[in-house]
Structure 1
Amino acid sequence: MPWLQLYIYTNRTEAEALEDILLAAGAASITLQDNADQPILEPALGETPLWDNTRVTGLFDADIDTALCSAAIANGYGKPLPPHKWEQLEDKDWEREWMQNYQPIHFGGDLWICPSWLEPPQPEAVNLLLDPGLAFGTGTHPTTFMCLQWLSEQDLNNQTLMDYGCGSGILGIAALLLGADQLAGVDIDPQALLATADNAQRNHIAAERFPVYLPPKCPEQQFDTVLANILAGPLAELAPTLTSLTRPGGRLCLSGILATQAETVMSAYRDHFQFDPIRQQDEWVCLSATRIH
């Protein structure tokens, strides 16, 4: 099915207003993107930040009258539209195009993550089957990549693990496939718990080996290893919780942290943990440590 895209170049305040206007004008979807290479890496609690220079993209049926549609959008906007243009979207098999963007990823050792529609490059390796979905985490982001690298280097045989902020379940599933005995997952998002359970089933992991919980139902026990790939602020706030979940002599792996935030996060845990050398990829770091008391 052919489509037209309307690009509008504006600021953060106007971008939010234009979303509803474009939807009312018949847009099938709206995308907001950075138009000036201004990264937003970790918003403050309760914030939904946008870029100073934002490109608003509306996707429309190719049969629409663009002049009438532009007039309707300008009328809803209440003033002349910011710089904008219409563009024909190339007619492709978009589902196939999307699938081609995801290829198997090697994380070190025997660990691979493979989309379910592709044959694993090394069938005899530890192959985690994972398709992009609603919950965060396909292994491509540096924060997840470094956690998976760290897991691939550990001896997890007969270990119990906690994945706090399990998202898609990628870290927990990898740990179980690498030899862990039992794993519990916790997340504040019910959709993440559903995604984790679905991905565990896809990888032939029985539900009783990877139960998932909302935080109030988190098991009150200690684990051999605790994983948390969240963000720096929550990781610092969760230090008492994650410490209590880690047995003395157990291991801790924290990610979702910018290099500039590493010292702040480490200081929240230093009373109980001895940290390893910092692992870094681009501007992100992964912290691992052993609980000393």
Structure 2
Amino acid sequence: MSDALSECGAAAVTFEDDADQPIYEPDVGETPLWTATRLTALFDAETRSEDVTKMLANVMDEVPHFKVEAVEDKDWEREWMANFQPIQFGERLWICPSWHQPPAPEAVNILLDPGLAFGTGTHATTALCLNWLDTADLTGKYVIDYGCGSGILAIAAALLGAEKVIAVDTDPQALEATRANAKRNGVEIEAYLPGECPDEPCDLLLANILAGPLQTLAPRFANLCKPAADIVLSGILQTQADAVSDSYGAWFAMQAATQKEDWIRLSGQRHVK
């Protein structure tokens, strides 16, 4: 259907859930669709819907039910920018898009625009980690942000006083985004693919990824943490929290979970031998 709409001249085709059926963590290599999937195709205003349906009928056995809506002509860049406002986390930490003046210039302000890598502060998992960082004393600490995305947590740690910050991600594009965002915020962050990450144990390890990878990486994270080091884990659904916490129990004293919406943050301290 998507290919057929593109052949008919659609400028963009979007897949959306049409039955409130969340897909949180697909298996590696899979791109699942919802049981009920809604497609939205965007056409030039001059396109006639009758012409599109005729073309669809030529390339498909059956044209599904559809409706046509006229989209108001707007300055879409400004509309998009208006959706992103400065957000406060805790008492001293703000995320500010570049087109806004920081509401609290004396606060710790992270200048961050929405981009190709995950992490702008709007998602509950990121907010959970930022709220934890806001309460922490990071002065002189060595911090690893594992699964860095945009670098938001690594940058926050650096601005909050960490002496050394390393960012790790499997996506080279995320590493580029992290380096660019770190430069914009005037902090120094080393960014690595997982196989290149130094083995030097850290004082704090942050990992906002998904439950499956978090469980798999538990031994690796234990080796990357000093005795008494803190670990902060997110990207975990409420139903997954106990299993993830149990995965870390051999190495960390895990604390009670903190919840925001459907998402959980786990934290703990590395056992002292």
Bin the TM-score by the shorter chain. over 0.9
For residue 32 of structure 1, give the secondary structure of its aligned residue in structure 2.
strand
For residue 84 of structure 1, give the secondary structure of its aligned residue in structure 2.
coil
**Post-superposition offset of 1:44:** 2.4
**Post-superposition offset of 1:141:** 0.7
| Pair 1:112-2:94 in alignment | yes
**Post-superposition offset of 1:255:** 0.3
| Pair 1:34-2:17 in alignment | yes
Q: Distance in 1 between matches of 2:270 and 2:79?
A: 46
Residue type matched to 2:124 in 1? Answer: P
Unaligned runs of 5+ in 1: 1-17
Q: Name the count of aligned residue pairs.
A: 272
Q: Distance in 2 between matches of 1:222 and 1:176?
A: 17
Q: Distance in 1 between matches of 2:88 and 2:263?
A: 19
Specify which of 160, 178, 182 is matched with residue 196 of structure 1.
178
| Pair 1:253-2:251 in alignment | no
| Pair 1:51-2:51 in alignment | no
For residue 85 of structure 1, give the secondary structure of its aligned residue in structure 2.
coil
| Pair 1:65-2:48 in alignment | yes
Q: Distance in 1 between matches of 2:262 and 2:47?
A: 44
**Post-superposition offset of 1:169:** 0.2
Q: Distance in 1 between matches of 2:57 and 2:184?
A: 48
CA contact (8 A) 2:248 2:254 kept: no
Q: Distance in 2 between matches of 1:64 and 1:108?
A: 49
Q: Distance in 2 between matches of 1:261 and 1:74?
A: 46
1:1-293 alignment, distance < 5 Å: 18-77=1-60, 79-205=61-187, 209-293=188-272
Per-residue Cα deviation, 1:238-293 (whole angstroms, up to 9, x for no partner):
11111111111100000000011011111111011001221101111000100014
For residue 287 of structure 1, give the secondary structure of its aligned residue in structure 2.
strand
Unaligned runs of 5+ in 2: none
1:9 aligned residue: none
Q: Distance in 1 between matches of 2:2 and 2:117?
A: 23
Per-residue Cα deviation, 1:217-257 (whole angstroms, up to 9, x for no partner):
11111000000000000000011111111111100000000
**Post-superposition offset of 1:133:** 0.3
CA contact (8 A) 2:96 2:110 kept: yes
Q: Distance in 1 between matches of 2:243 and 2:79?
A: 42
Residue type matched to 2:211 in 1? Answer: A
Identity %: 54
Per-residue Cα deviation, 1:22-46 (whole angstroms, up to 9, x for no partner):
1121111111111121222222232
Residue type matched to 1:287 in 2? Answer: L
Q: Distance in 2 between matches of 1:42 and 1:89?
A: 33
**TM-score, length-normalised on structure 2?**
0.97
**Post-superposition offset of 1:66:** 2.0
* 4+ aligned runs moved over 6 Å, structure 1: none
For residue 137 of structure 2, give the secondary structure of its aligned residue in structure 1.
coil
Residue type matched to 1:21 in 2? Answer: A
Per-residue Cα deviation, 1:136-155 (whole angstroms, up to 9, x for no partner):
11111110000000011100
Q: Distance in 1 between matches of 2:83 and 2:213?
A: 31
Residue type matched to 2:259 in 1? Answer: Q
Q: Distance in 2 between matches of 1:74 and 1:275?
A: 59
